[in-house]
Amino acid sequence: MIRNYADIRKAARSVSGARVAIPMGHDPASMQALCEISDLGLASGVIVAPAEAVKESLDSLGRELPADLEVVDEGDAAAAAEKAVRLISSGEATVLMKGMLKTSLFQKAILDKEFGLRTGRVLSHVAVLRSPSQKRLVAVSDGGMNIRPDEEELVQIAENAAAVIKALGAEEALVAMLAAIEVENEKMPETLVAARIASRTIPGMKVQGPLAVDVAVDPEAAEVKGVKGPVAGRANVMITPDIACGNIFVKGLMYMADAEVGGLIAGAAAPIVMLSRSDKPAAKINSLALGVVVGGESSDV
């Protein structure tokens, strides 16, 4: 049973053929992350970027290029994005990571109809967290991709997050549709949407909502408030109503509660890691290890 990021890193080492493809990954931060995943035995990699810039970054880090990292010399960002995505779609790499290029160019390659990673599903960001007070991993979505998802998009966001948590060994996805309260209120539209989604039968998961965070994850809080159900107090997936809630929630846990965290974009034909420049080194390695494990479990996450 995978309960924390030490377990995720251990699981990543057992994934055969894990390989990260990164377009324009020549900056020192990207090179540092790739060198570390190589050192830790988590994955090999291919950097599609200017070879001279890769060398300069390695020199600044005092590193040699690890034997399991390959460089494809490419100075054009759009061409680099296409080459990296083609490596994924051809099966030559298993995890896509964003380097120093515009998000629009990166996404254009991902969504290309000829060689891209489309599946027909909504793409959504899934953060996987373990806070010091919890003894389990919890997936939170979507704090990074969809600004104000509608009801149907929220269902797909929940399905993506459920697939991630099950790839990490959860027997079932227990999905809480988050709100500030546990009852429907017309002045809080998210409660109405959560209730409608919870009333559906969605294969592969149990869904309950609206639920506040305390009731979603803490059995005692659920008991005190008299909230019963298949998810109350036991949620391992939490779906926020919009990107603001998701982003604030996850970053609050990261920076104020010292939660272990990693994240990826789900819904494509392979895991996609998009790191922030402000991400701590541990979060970068966690995200790459998470992508390796999820990519090793399924080619449709």
Q: Which residues are bridge partners to 218 per DSSP?
A: none
Options 3.40.470.10, 3.40.47.10, 3.50.30.10, 3.40.718.10; CATH for 124-256 is 3.40.718.10
Give residue 298's pLDDT band: very low, low, confident or very high (50, 70, 90). Answer: very low
Per-residue model confidence (pLDDT) at position 297? 56
Per-residue model confidence (pLDDT) at position 299? 40
Q: Which residues are bridge partners to 261 per DSSP?
A: 129
> Contact at 8 Å (CB) between 170 and 300?
no
CATH 3.30.70.20 fits 8-119+268-297, yes or no: no
Name the residue ranges covered by the structural domains of the chain.
Answer: 8-119+268-297, 124-256
- Sheet containing strand 205-211, edge to edge, reads 69-73, 44-49, 19-23, 95-97, 272-273, 260-266, 124-130, 138-141, 237-239, 173-178, 205-211
Give residue 300's pLDDT band: very low, low, confident or very high (50, 70, 90). Answer: very low
- How many percent of the chain have pLDDT more than 90? 89
Per-residue model confidence (pLDDT) at position 238? 98
Which is it for the CA torsion 60, 61, 65, 68, positive or negative? negative
DSSP 187: T
